[in-house]
Structure 1
């Protein structure tokens, strides 16, 4: 990270603000689009991208976005804070993950290469395994786990089938494309 520049100054078109003394940490190679709101205990890794009008609110627990992962337009990441019966649930996104438009990840974990489809919801304590997919519009309830490389769909989400290695590779293609696209958007924004 560039210690000489305030992280909020790097993305003047977004809202990047501290909460309870914790300022978001955004890698120098990451991209944050206009209209995004990044608040509190949020870490965004190398070449990751957070797109237009997303909200990542790390006010009562932490949020981690792994390297080369993308959080697409209008998605929301929040967390479950500590309660008498639990220490709470952070939202953790591994490396090379795809979060489709308007998805909600709330106190859930998505392992490396995981995919959350457009409009899908992953709730407190849910886990999406490596290379697994939560289909568009699906609802993965609290504490549910999708094993690696499986596809789950529906409300509530249920097993559909296992992905082929070629399908898992398509998720990696999506992350690579979004890394390039993020740099193109950044170039357009900084050229103004």
Structure 2
């Protein structure tokens, strides 16, 4: 299903194949030879999304741009089932295994591997060839890798990331943080009420 969002329509190369049950919304460009499988969601929420050549987006994966961070996915990258990429820049020939998560402002270098249920935190910078093991967390620039049993170290790295401030524009120390966050974000998401479904059988 294709949707026009905020006046922008998806642009899909003639050689790309997009499942009829995938959702492509807004300022999304899908390059030659790409495959977007059933249940995948690619949604441009205020910034563009670009998929290069021969990118594969597996079932139920999510790619989301935000008003603060666009998304670029380099050529010959595979995004596994249930993987999630939000507001990140991804180089070519990267492998995201099932359940991998990449957050806003991250940069993933060429030929990296983000393995099953691994996490790349906001603003992390992964050099070429970095492997994030199963369930591990990558954070920082220069990047540090944390095993799942390093809860204290991961927690210590988190406040400096200021996720609510960067993504939602709400100070982490705001007393009613979740009230401010949900109302502000909800107002932004409500713009989808004006989205228009595009019939791919008719010329755009």
Q: TM-score, normalised by structure 1?
A: 0.70
Distance, in Å, in 2 between the alignment partners of 1:104 and 1:133 is 14
- Name the structure 2 match of 1:96: 76
In structure 1, which of residues 113, 128, 131 is the aligned counterpart of residue 111 of structure 2?
A: 131
| 1:156 equivalenced with 2:156 (yes/no) | no
Where does 1:2-41 land on structure 2 (aligned, <5 Å)?
A: 15-41=1-27
- Say which one has the larger Rg: 2
| 1:74 equivalenced with 2:67 (yes/no) | no
Task: Tell me the CA shift for residue 156 of structure 1.
Answer: 1.9
Which runs of 5 or more residues in structure 2 are unaligned? 139-144, 148-204
Aligned length: 140
Which runs of 5 or more residues in structure 1 are unaligned? 1-14, 82-87, 161-192
- SS for the counterpart of 1:60 is coil
Assess if the C-alpha contact under 8 Å between 2:28 and 2:50 holds in 1. Answer: yes
Where does 1:174-185 land on structure 2 (aligned, <5 Å)?
A: none
Task: Tell me the CA shift for residue 159 of structure 1.
Answer: 7.6
| TM-align CA RMSD | 1.4
Q: TM-score, normalised by structure 2?
A: 0.66
